[in-house]
Structure 1
Amino acid sequence: MSKNGLATLLIWLTAALVSTVFVWLLADIIRHGLPRLSWSFLVEAPQNAGRSGGIGPIIVSTALILLVAIATAAPLGLATAVLLTEFTRHDGAFGRLVRRSLDVLAGVPSIVFGLFGNALFCIYLGLGFSILSGGLTLACMVLPILIRTAEEGLRAVPDDYRLAAAALGMSRNAALVHLLLPAAMPALVAGLMLGIGRAGAETAALIFTSGYVDRLPDSLFDSGRALSVHIYDLSMNVAGGDASAYSSALVLILLLLIINGIAMGLAKQWLHRSISL
Structure 2
Amino acid sequence: MKARVQKGLVYAAALLTFAVLLFLIGYILWSGVPHLKASLFALEYNSDNVSMFPAIVTTLEMTLLALAMAVPFGLFTAIYLNEYAARGNRLVALIRVTAETLSGIPSIVYGLFGMLFFVTRLHWGYSLLAGAMTLAIMILPLVMRTAEEALMAVPDSFREASFGLGAGRLRTVFRIVLPSAMPGILSGVILSIGRIVGETAALIFTAGTMAQIPGLLQSGRTLAIHMYVLSGEGLHMNEAYATAVVLLAVVLLMNTLSALIARRITKK
TM class, shorter-chain normalised? over 0.9
Residue 68 (structure 2) pairs with residue 71 (structure 1): yes
- 1:47–1:54 contact (8 Å) kept in structure 2: yes
Name the counterpart of 1:233. 229
Q: For residues 65-144 of structure 1, what are the structure 2 equivalents within 5 Å? A: 65-144=62-141
Cα 1:90–1:7 change in 2 (3 A) is farther
Residue 8 (structure 2) pairs with residue 9 (structure 1): yes
- Cα deviation 1:101-139 (Å, max 9, x = unaligned): 001100000000001111121122221110111111111
Normalising by the residue count of structure 1, what TM-score does the alignment of the two structures yield?
0.92
Moved more, 202-211 or 174-183: 174-183
* RMSD between aligned residues: 1.5
1:246 to 241, 245, 266: 241
Name the counterpart of 2:35. 36
- 1:77–1:143 contact (8 Å) kept in structure 2: yes
Distance in 1 of aligned mates of 2:260 and 2:168: 28
- 1:66–1:196 contact (8 Å) kept in structure 2: yes
Residue 50 (structure 2) pairs with residue 53 (structure 1): yes
User: Cα distance, 1:53 vs. partner?
Assistant: 3.3
- 1:64–1:220 contact (8 Å) kept in structure 2: no
1:169 to 154, 161, 166: 166
Distance in 1 of aligned mates of 2:266 and 2:73: 20
User: Cα distance, 1:271 vs. partner?
Assistant: 4.5
Name the counterpart of 2:21. 22
- 2:35–2:238 contact (8 Å) kept in structure 1: yes
Name the counterpart of 2:186. 189
Normalising by the residue count of structure 2, what TM-score does the alignment of the two structures yield?
0.95
1:155 to 147, 152, 155: 152
- Cα deviation 1:223-256 (Å, max 9, x = unaligned): 10111111111112x1232111111111111111
Distance in 2 of aligned mates of 1:124 and 1:223: 17
| Consecutive unaligned residues in structure 2, runs of 5 or more | none
Distance in 2 of aligned mates of 1:39 and 1:197: 26
Name the counterpart of 2:200. 203
Moved more, 57-66 or 260-269: 260-269
User: Cα distance, 1:270 vs. partner?
Assistant: 4.2
- 1:44–1:53 contact (8 Å) kept in structure 2: no
- 2:111–2:206 contact (8 Å) kept in structure 1: yes
Q: Give the counterpart letter for 1:82 in structure 2.
A: I
1:223 to 208, 219, 226: 219
* Runs of 4+ that moved beyond 6 A: none
User: Cα distance, 1:208 vs. partner?
Assistant: 0.4
- 1:29–1:250 contact (8 Å) kept in structure 2: yes
| Consecutive unaligned residues in structure 1, runs of 5 or more | none
Moved more, 110-119 or 227-236: 227-236
User: Cα distance, 1:214 vs. partner?
Assistant: 0.4
- 1:73–1:142 contact (8 Å) kept in structure 2: yes
User: Cα distance, 1:39 vs. partner?
Assistant: 4.0
User: Cα distance, 1:44 vs. partner?
Assistant: 4.0
Distance in 2 of aligned mates of 1:186 and 1:3: 36
Distance in 2 of aligned mates of 1:154 and 1:43: 45
Moved more, 239-248 or 148-157: 239-248
Name the counterpart of 1:255. 250
Distance in 2 of aligned mates of 1:269 and 1:20: 31
User: Cα distance, 1:262 vs. partner?
Assistant: 2.3
- Cα deviation 1:135-185 (Å, max 9, x = unaligned): 111111111111111101100111111111110111212211221112112
- 1:52–1:244 contact (8 Å) kept in structure 2: no
Distance in 1 of aligned mates of 2:122 and 2:129: 11
Identity of aligned pairs, percent? 38
- 1:90–1:96 contact (8 Å) kept in structure 2: no
